[in-house]
Amino acid sequence: AEEFGIQQALKDLGLNEINNGTSTGTDWFGNGDIIESYSPVDGALVGKVKATTKDDYEKVITTAEKGFKEWRTWPSPKRGEVVRQFNDELRKLKEPLGKLVSYEMGKSYQEGLGEVQEMIDICDFAVGLSRQLHGLTMHSERPGHRMYEQYHPLGVVGVISAFNFPVAVWSWNTALAWVCGDACIWKGSEKTPLTSVACQNIAARIFAENGVPAGISCLITGDYRVGEMMTKDERVPLISATGSIRMGKIVAQAVAARLGKSLLELGGNNAIIVTPDANIKNTVIGAVFGAVGTCGQRCTSTRRLIVHEDIYDKVKDAIVNAYKQIRIGNPLDENNHVGPLIDKDAVKNYQNALKKVVEEGGNILVEGGVLEGEGYESGCYVKPAIAEAKNEFEIVQQETFAPVLYLLKYSGDVGKAVEIQNGVKQGLSSAIMTNNLREAERFLSVEGSDCGIANVNIGTSGAEIGGAFGGEKETGGGRESGSDAWKVYMRRQTNTINFTTELPLAQGIKFDL
Ligand code: UN1
């Protein structure tokens, strides 16, 4: 990794050999076990982080609660100004942070930079938003009355994020929550603890420089047990969780049991429909990037390609050919398209999926396999694979977080393809490739895609931050990032003000004393 400047990146990001606190000393406490982070790129130790204990957590939550009481009184454009400065720092540190993301998580350096760019974009969005936390005004049915709604800061927001987007998903939540006046406690993935510490360091430094009260950006580290302290804690009114459906069900129940709010962004089983009117060249680029980008570890990764029978062979050949061009290897080397999977468990899941699809009657078109030899010593590099399959196969119904693409055939009109596309439990992202207006509009209509994201003539992954991001069904229903997703980080209050000398009741009710 040294030829790619990892040590320098760690230094630029202020990371130490063992990381257990920030400069302010109040934003994050870690006195527990040491978590070692190994890179899937070369198997080497990236660094060590101390886990959060129960006592540490208590300190964090009380600091966050106290900080919130002050932070909520700051005018939101002033909070936006702090986010703007945080963003300036991200712009300066884009390269080392992108590099660390790539090295600790394994996605290509380009994608690591892309992820930091998403952070920059959402911060820009949040700064503008800090002057636009609008409510509505309504006309009262009573004379001399005014009605309106306003949004107030919510409190301490818990953010649980996954290894695959170790920095962007945090910022989608926190950049908005901060301008909304909330304090955030972040539990990042235990698979990417160093990137979490790097982000927390940046926030802590900028916040301290601006006199932001302690506790507005907090980090807790460790496994699900640390997350559980937060999900069960009624002092945390909102939990925003990104990860597997399995995790989401546990989090949702814990939060619901105390009637808290949860924002869930869980698994996808995303498909691209390819109709006879599709542009094949663009279809191939979209599908290949969607299936193998981030080594198939995006929640928006393309898992299924639903191709019309008339062009099935043509698309099949084009895509199989394209797979021959894919270069797999060290993701820091910009010549490579695909880096490693996150760890050996992920490799096992990938192998199981390929075994299972054959057992269920699938036909392997592009052979998978684990790469060995020079450059592949971590044991996490795999070959992107394609299998012809049927939508009803059990394995096709599941989200396998790996570069396995299922090719499915449809016949008849686009309605048939939509039926297949919707015929899974997840509902995150979807796409159609067509130049036929009627097909595109049907796909987007009420009878079309049932997903939170539905695209025409682009793939399923790579969403911009300006739109609301999330999905339906087992994807969890939450929306993060752009549009009006900010509203979940605030509490809404309806206000009716009487400026007369009388007290007329609503609904015309008479109540004379
Ligand atoms: C995720 O995988 O959790 O749409 C998020 C995309 C990215 C975000 C993915 N902007 O691919």
Q: What DSSP designation does 388 have? A: E
- Dist. CA 12–CA 95, nearest whole Å: 10
Q: Are 311 and 408 in contact (CB under 8 A)?
A: no
Q: What DSSP designation does 26 have? A: S
Q: What is the mean pLDDT of residues 153-171?
A: 98
Q: Which of 231, 219, 218, 267 is nearest to 428 (CA)?
A: 267
pTM > 0.95: yes
Q: Which of 77, 94, 53, 303 is nearest to 179 (CA)?
A: 77
Q: How far is the CA of 276 from the centre of ligand 1 (A)?
A: 28
Q: What is the mean pLDDT of residues 80-109?
A: 98
297 Cβ inside 6 Å of ligand 1: no
Residues in the chain: 513
In angstroms, how far is the first alpha carbon of the chain from the final one?
82
Residue pLDDT, tens place only, 390-433: 999 999 999 999 999 999 999 999 999 999 999 999 999 999 99
In this structure, which long-range contacts are made by residues 98-102, counting pairs with CB atoms below 8 Å and at least 24 apart in sequence?
Answer: 99/4, 99/5, 99/6, 99/9, 99/332, 100/6, 100/9, 100/10, 100/13, 100/46, 100/194, 100/195, 100/198, 101/166, 101/167, 101/192, 101/195, 102/41, 102/331, 102/332, 102/339
199 Cβ inside 6 Å of ligand 1: no
453 Cβ inside 6 Å of ligand 1: no
112 compared with 29, residue with greater pLDDT = 112
> What's residue 17's pLDDT?
83
> What's residue 244's pLDDT?
96
Ligand 1 test: best mutation among 108, 120, 125, 165, most atoms within 8 Å of CB?
165
> What's residue 294's pLDDT?
97
301 Cβ inside 6 Å of ligand 1: no
Q: How many CB atoms lie within 10 A of CB 216?
A: 27
With a pLDDT cut of 70, the percent of the chain lying above it is 98
171 Cβ inside 6 Å of ligand 1: no
> What's residue 135's pLDDT?
97
- Range of weakest confidence among 13-22, 46-55, 319-328: 13-22
Mean pLDDT over each residue of the chain, to the nearest integer: 96
Ligand 1 test: best mutation among 170, 295, 298, most atoms within 8 Å of CB?
298
CA distances from 109 to 23, 41, 66, 89, 90 (A): 28, 11, 39, 19, 16
| 404-410 and 426-427 strand pairing | unpaired
Burial of 491 (0-12, 13-18, 19+ CB in 10 A): middle
> What's residue 22's pLDDT?
58
Residue pLDDT, tens place only, 350-402: 999 999 999 999 999 999 999 999 999 999 999 999 999 999 999 999 999 99
107 Cβ inside 6 Å of ligand 1: no
Q: How far is the CA of 290 from the centre of ligand 1 (A)?
A: 11
Identity at 305, one-letter amino acid code: L
Encoded tokens for 406? 């299922």
| 480-481 and 472-473 strand pairing | unpaired
Torsion of CA 442, 445, 450, 455, to 10 degrees: 70
> What's residue 26's pLDDT?
57
Residue pLDDT, tens place only, 210-262: 999 999 999 999 999 999 999 999 999 999 999 999 999 999 999 999 999 99
Q: How far is the CA of 460 from the centre of ligand 1 (A)?
A: 9
With a pLDDT cut of 90, the percent of the chain lying above it is 96
- Dist. CA 23–CA 28, nearest whole Å: 9
Q: Which residues are catalytic?
A: 265
pLDDT at 23 exceeding the cut of 50: no
Helix (H), strand (E) at residue 18 = strand 18-19
Q: How far is the CA of 25 from the centre of ligand 1 (A)?
A: 32
CA distances from 324 to 327, 367, 385 (A): 8, 11, 11
Q: What are phi and psi of 424, to 5 degrees?
A: -140, 170
Residue pLDDT, tens place only, 492-511: 999 999 999 999 999 999 99
Greatest CA separation for the chain:
90
